Chains A and B, each alone.
Chain A
């Protein structure tokens, strides 16, 4: 392509599909491009239930935030927050208490720029562009934001993001670093894809995502238990996402939820 497009911003590659926009598409959002939608279609071929899985994961996020609010948490660190779509953490939290503070973290440019636009008017919420697998940098920036008070319990959210963290990145020590930075009484909400449910479909998804910018790493229940070291799991423990504190009677098939969800409290 010889001719330069004079108005195209440099440094942003929207031609590569991103997990953030893929997820937005699965949730029915419009913040995505042809490349994202193409990847999404492949994803859907491997896991036809993907839209429901996304919806259930997003719904778990909401219930987890409200659960933490009920237990006195008023500040959240949302790691891998994604494109602001429906039911963002600050909206959920601030609806329950307008004083609630939220720091979002994501490493994807467009998600971050978009979050900035959304949060422009909100002094109690901000977004940090950082890799959440680097807790030191994240915690430093979060501290500098002035929005989080690390002497008070914090709600840590790692929802739908750890399946992007490869085993080599030592997920256990990543969680541990965040855990050590917050006081007792803090909570961790966690969800990620697992091969325990629908192993064949999961294998297909891993294959589809392998060559993308965001390869995926499902984990077994036992592996996830290991990540909660230093936390006490809140009932009912690690369960398919729709079974975690369902609202009313759950009608979604837990065996097709794709994702395990859990919340732990730092002792």
Chain B
């Protein structure tokens, strides 16, 4: 995606999460600058976001969502952690300010209000920061429980009359003493520092200190105020900001980012095993019983897996819609798999619906220590896909050989952006044939690159995050071409069919993109057929419905005849479904089943199309089974070749 477009998206996403006091154009400019700067310095981009006040609870998530297709994960991880850091500093500054404001308020207010000691103590005690008031000699006058907890004491009172310096590291005493003095003597309004404290049990703890001065009504210094923030990691995880960053809000489990850091920590030293779980047929629940039920079910699953993880001392996370990940140490894989299926298999009742659950599981067992965490996660994911391909309740162990093949593909994927930029991706048009009349019904626009098929090219594009921009480009270019044909050849111009990839099918901008393509190219809507990846509809996306309501004829691609898919056909109005399958020869036992399936589809008023049918024999099988149309009988042609054919066909013989 072009940077300005990305900046515009980012702006839209951010302004919905936080109030940023600038015009949209200004925000967009700042974000555009940030995009340019991001690869070099994610840290300064993070600081800028915080100073812009893009600090709503969802601002970081929105940012990562917008940027993740375009930028590498490690870069985004740096951005996230710098952002968290900048947020902490900002929160710290604000707490400082408000504290100063309180003191000011008291000095200025003439009216005598009744002090509510109890209430003030409540604030003092419930502050997220440790606070201690020391006299100018460094003796604690008052400390809150938060501070006591940080230094390993029972309550704030335990600090009374103790020297705060008791808790400083001996090496820091001189430097800190000098800083306190500067504040007391007015050379510095306050100082902040990152230091190690020594807890009562002798353990060190990293903290931020912020030290400022209290003066009496005459302006004479009386006390130091030291605010202490525990920044040791364990503590950070408990803090809510970090909690939000590291946890999934629905189930409360760790999120992917958190999981990855935990894996990172363990993988180097321990024989770990990763399990990547995908719930089977979860979309059926979501579609059939609604998202709320789906959410409840996810919570139940999270709780059950959580219990199991607790028993096994495993680390558990929810890392995607219906996907969970678990890490164990020194584990027996088959036992664990059985245990997982067992806890999932317990009958589950949600809103009076009894639901049987199972998961497909990808496993990476005791990976070599030099493997990066990103690689491990990818391998586990690949194994999960394999398991899924085998059916429900299956599991697969990561196979390193298979991975090498994939890596070849990744190399190809890496060269794709360049190829696209240099115009090496071509659009070709494959005829769609009516099986009954044998007429050409239209042309499917497809990608062609090197000797890769459309589907392979799209799959590659998916893995690079390019499929959306490429899909949009394909949509527009093909519409423009089809519009030219309509202009030149009128009714004999082929109807344009476009098959969208999975990502584009559920892109929220899809409907707008289609409308824009039609508007800008002048292609009449009835000359366009859009086929959406059926997974998007199964996942509850409403693009198909909206397109239909906008008068655009749609099809669902990737139809397998599953129960959930048939259910969808009763709800969403589409013209046809498209499948890819071996042709049903009449003597095969599957023939009757296929006929029945096609008849069922027809009974919903939906046509049945088949892609990748390359021989007349296969086409004939399909025809006899009841299918309506096939793609693939003739090779795809370039736009110029199609134009030539149309021209030749329209030339009346006598005129030549």
Indicate if A51 sits at the interface (CB-CB under 8 A). Answer: yes
Indicate if B115 sits at the interface (CB-CB under 8 A). Answer: yes
Chain A residue with Cβ nearest B91: A30
A contact patch SS: loop
When A and B form their complex, which 6 residue pairs have the shortest distance between CB atoms, in order from nearest? A15-B119, A87-B21, A9-B106, A30-B94, A113-B105, A114-B101
Chain A residue with Cβ nearest B112: A11
29 sampled A-B residue pairs with Cβ under 8 A = A1-B121, A4-B117, A5-B142, A8-B117, A8-B120, A9-B103, A9-B105, A9-B107, A11-B109, A11-B111, A12-B105, A13-B114, A13-B119, A14-B119, A30-B93, A35-B119, A52-B16, A55-B18, A55-B56, A58-B21, A87-B21, A92-B21, A110-B98, A113-B102, A113-B108, A114-B97, A114-B104, A116-B108, A251-B16
List A residues at the B interface (Cβ < 8 Å): 1, 4-16, 27-35, 51-52, 54-55, 58-59, 62, 86-87, 91-92, 109-110, 112-114, 116-117, 247-248, 251-252
Distance, CA A87 to CA B53, complexed state (A): 10
Indicate if B95 sits at the interface (CB-CB under 8 A). Answer: yes
Contact of B124 among A5, A55, A92 (CB under 8 A): A5
Query: Interface size (B, Cβ < 8 Å)?
Result: 52
A6 adjacent to B141 (CB under 8 Å): yes
Chain B residue with Cβ nearest A33: B123
Chain A residue with Cβ nearest B58: A51
Chain B residue with Cβ nearest A32: B98
Contact of B23 among A6, A10, A34, A247 (CB under 8 A): A247
B101 adjacent to A113 (CB under 8 Å): yes
A87 adjacent to B214 (CB under 8 Å): no
A10 adjacent to B18 (CB under 8 Å): no
Contact of B142 among A7, A34, A114 (CB under 8 A): A7
Contacts of A29 in B (CB 8 A): 94
Most chain B CB atoms below 10 A, which of A33, A52, A59? A33
B118 adjacent to A112 (CB under 8 Å): no
Indicate if B133 sits at the interface (CB-CB under 8 A). Answer: yes
Contacts of A117 in B (CB 8 A): 97, 100-101, 104
Known interface pairs A8-B115, A117-B101; A34-B120 also in contact (CB < 8 Å): no
Indicate if B172 sits at the interface (CB-CB under 8 A). Answer: no
Distance, CA A12 to CA B20, complexed state (A): 31
B113 adjacent to A34 (CB under 8 Å): no
Indicate if B122 sits at the interface (CB-CB under 8 A). Answer: yes
Most chain B CB atoms below 10 A, which of A1, A30, A32, A86? A30
Indicate if B126 sits at the interface (CB-CB under 8 A). Answer: yes
Chain B residue with Cβ nearest A54: B19
Contacts of A116 in B (CB 8 A): 104, 108
Known interface pairs A7-B225, A110-B101; A1-B117 also in contact (CB < 8 Å): yes
Indicate if B55 sits at the interface (CB-CB under 8 A). Answer: yes
Chain B residue with Cβ nearest A14: B123
Indicate if B223 sits at the interface (CB-CB under 8 A). Answer: yes
Contact of A34 among B111, B112, B126 (CB under 8 A): B126
Provide the B48-73 mask, 1 if CB < 8 A to any CB of A, else 0.
Answer: 00000101110000000000000000
Contact of B116 among A13, A87, A247 (CB under 8 A): A13
Contacts of B419 in A (CB 8 A): none
B19 adjacent to A87 (CB under 8 Å): yes
